[in-house]
Structure 1
Amino acid sequence: MPKTVILGVIGSDAHVVGITILEQALQAAGFDVVNLGVQSSQAEFVEAARREDASAVLVSSLYGHAEQDCQGFHEKIAEADLDVLTYIGGNLAVGQDDFEQTRRRFRELGFDRVFDSETDPEEAIAALRRDLQIAPTEPETVPVRG
């Protein structure tokens, strides 16, 4: 049975290209995807995760204000008694120079995985499979040649 993931752009951000690409990649990888679209509130993410019994919530933000948009997000998830993985990716901070510092900040906010805007969708999907303990499908298993 496919795992359901919630995908969307949080806050006032209106960048849609990244989640469109990610949605297609996730669907091709066998996930059921509920795409909330752009300018989604924390409450919309939480309600969709509850309604769909989601395994993961993937938050995108490209306009640099993700930290303020995500304040209190994990508290809302806890209040809803949800057991979901949370990923965030994109251009998460204005003037983001040291991504490791940004990653630490978002891990402190409660996110399980934090990706920069240059992350290939396949990298995020591989992490999601590992975190959800999903074995790759046959065509995606590449034989090692020596």
Structure 2
Amino acid sequence: MTKTVILGVIGSDAHVVGITILEQAFEAAGFDVVNLGVQTSQTEFVDAADEHDAAAVLVSSLYGHAKQDCQGFHRQIADAGLEDVTTYIGGNLAVGQDDFEETRAFFREIGFDRVFDSETDPEDAIEALRADLDMRSAETERESQTVSA
């Protein structure tokens, strides 16, 4: 079964090249990709994830304002009942970003499952997503076995 991923650039960011590369890489890897394009709102990500029964939401940001753009993002996901959706963010996420590990910690704290810098090879993100989705599938399967037992 093909997994659907939602991809887009959040906020007022208009950088399109990165998500075009990601779209092609994830499609080549066998994912069904819904590319929302640039200047995508949190609500558009959440609505698309719900509409397409997405397994993952991949947020891109290169203009350095992702911290502001992502405030409350996971609350919207939870409010939509999409807590099981895997969320990734990547790019140049903070203006003047000196220590990426601090940036990574910030985004993990607000709910993202994985955080990537702008130098990440798309294949690394694909490999991570496959592992994360396999792990979530195994957890769901164990939960359903427990419930039916």
Partner of 2:132: 131
Superposition deviation, residue 133 in structure 1? 1.0
Name the counterpart of 2:74: 74
Distance across 2 between alignment mates of 1:109 and 1:70? 8
3-state secondary structure, aligned to 1:5: strand
Deviations 1:118-138 (A, max 9, x none): 00000000000000118xxxx
* Separation in 1, partners of 2:33, 2:109: 26
Does residue 33 (structure 1) correspond to residue 33 (structure 2)? The answer is: yes
Other-structure match for 1:141: none
Q: Percent identity?
A: 81
**Could you list the per-position Cα deviations for residues 42-83 of structure 1 after superposition, in whole angstroms to 9, with x for gaps in the alignment?**
000000000000000000000000000000000000000012
- 1:101-140 equivalence runs, <5 A: 101-133=102-134
SS of equivalent to 1:39: coil
Can you give the 5+ residue segments of structure 2 that lack an aligned partner in the other structure? Answer: 136-149
* Matched positions, count: 134
SS of residue in 2 equivalent to 1:133: helix
1:85 to partner: Cα distance: 0.3
Cα distance in 2 between the residues matched to 1:71 and 1:99? 18
Bigger share in helix: 2
Letter in 2 for 1:81: G
Tell me, in whole angstroms, the C-alpha distance in 2 between the residues paired with 1:36 and 1:127: 22
Structure 1-normalised TM-score?
0.91
